[in-house]
Amino acid sequence: KNQVEQSPQSLIILEGKNCTLQCNYTVSPFSNLRWYKQDTGRGPVSLTIMTFSENTKSNGRYTATLDADTKQSSLHITASQLSDSASYICVVSGPLTGGGNKLTFGTGTQLKVEL
Amino acid sequence: NAGVTQTPKFRILKIGQSMTLQCAQDMNHNYMYWYRQDPGMGLKLIYYSVGAGITDKGEVPNGYNVSRSTTEDFPLRLELAAPSQTSVYFCASSYNWKGQDEKLFFGSGTQLSVL
């Protein structure tokens, strides 16, 4: 069964600190792995997308890594800001039979950044 | 550029009532998707469409219907609302799936309660 598991479930850090969120998956076939940020009451917004051959990808203070052999990914947030408070969702993508992508979503890590 | 627009933002239904969740995108995307997000769960695909006139079932299609008469619009219909359909519904769109960095754009969601 295709699954995406994220840890920790929730995390509280002080502003300015770094943090790393984890994602393990068992999805097959695999097209790419995505990290999304979801603010409360809003839809998810894409942060990074990595294919099988990519090990790391950055988007500003967000850096995602991918180990396709162990089926693990991480999202590192540097110098956190209050606006980073959100749910971070790991999503693994594979092709749909009729076209488009089948996305398997993790349940997210709820990050809170405090002063 | 509005992106993906969903209406309404909130709705309360009685058991057995019907309603249509509206979704429109102005990015000329071919692919559109409906997801539901239950508390503590990852998003689940309800239906998707690869172009006008073409729709297909996702993981959890029971109790829902869709149509895609234009590229821009992808409404989701609930015929006989049940408490199990209480959820947050997200519409999303993408240009195509063949590109490795194909990105999904999400609407801001519709919070539906069935009582």
| A75-100 pLDDT tens trace | 999 999 999 999 999 999 887 676 66
Question: Nearest by CB to A99, which of B97, B105, B109?
Answer: B97
Which pLDDT tens digit goes with each residue over A46-69? Answer: 999 998 889 999 999 999 999 999
B42 — contact with chain A (CB < 8 Å)? yes
Give the chain A residue nearest B90 (alpha carbons).
A43
Give the chain A residue nearest B41 (alpha carbons).
A107
B38 — contact with chain A (CB < 8 Å)? no
pLDDT at A87: 97
SS3 labels along chain A: CCCEEEECCEEEEECCCCEEEEEEECCCCCCEEEEEEECCCCCCEEEEEEECCCCEEEECCEEEEEECCCCEEEEEECCCCHHHCEEEEEEEEEECCCCCEEEEECCCEEEEEEC
B28 to chain A, closest Cα gap in Å = 15
Chains A, B: CB contacts within 8 A come to: 65
Residues in A closer than 8 angstroms to B90, CB to CB, are: 43-44
Tokens of B74: 């992808």
- Distance in angstroms (rounded) separating the CA atoms of residues A50 and A69: 14
- Given an 8 Å threshold on Cβ–Cβ distance, is B43 in contact with A105? yes
Identify the segments of chain B with pLDDT beneath 70: 1, 96-101
Summary mean pLDDT of chain B: 92
Residue A13 has pLDDT above 90, yes or no: yes
Do B31 and B103 meet the contact criterion of CB atoms below 8 Å apart?
Answer: no
- Distance in angstroms (rounded) separating the CA atoms of residues B32 and B96: 10
- Distance in angstroms (rounded) separating the CA atoms of residues A3 and A26: 5
Residues in A closer than 8 angstroms to B8, CB to CB, are: none
Residues in A closer than 8 angstroms to B56, CB to CB, are: 96, 98
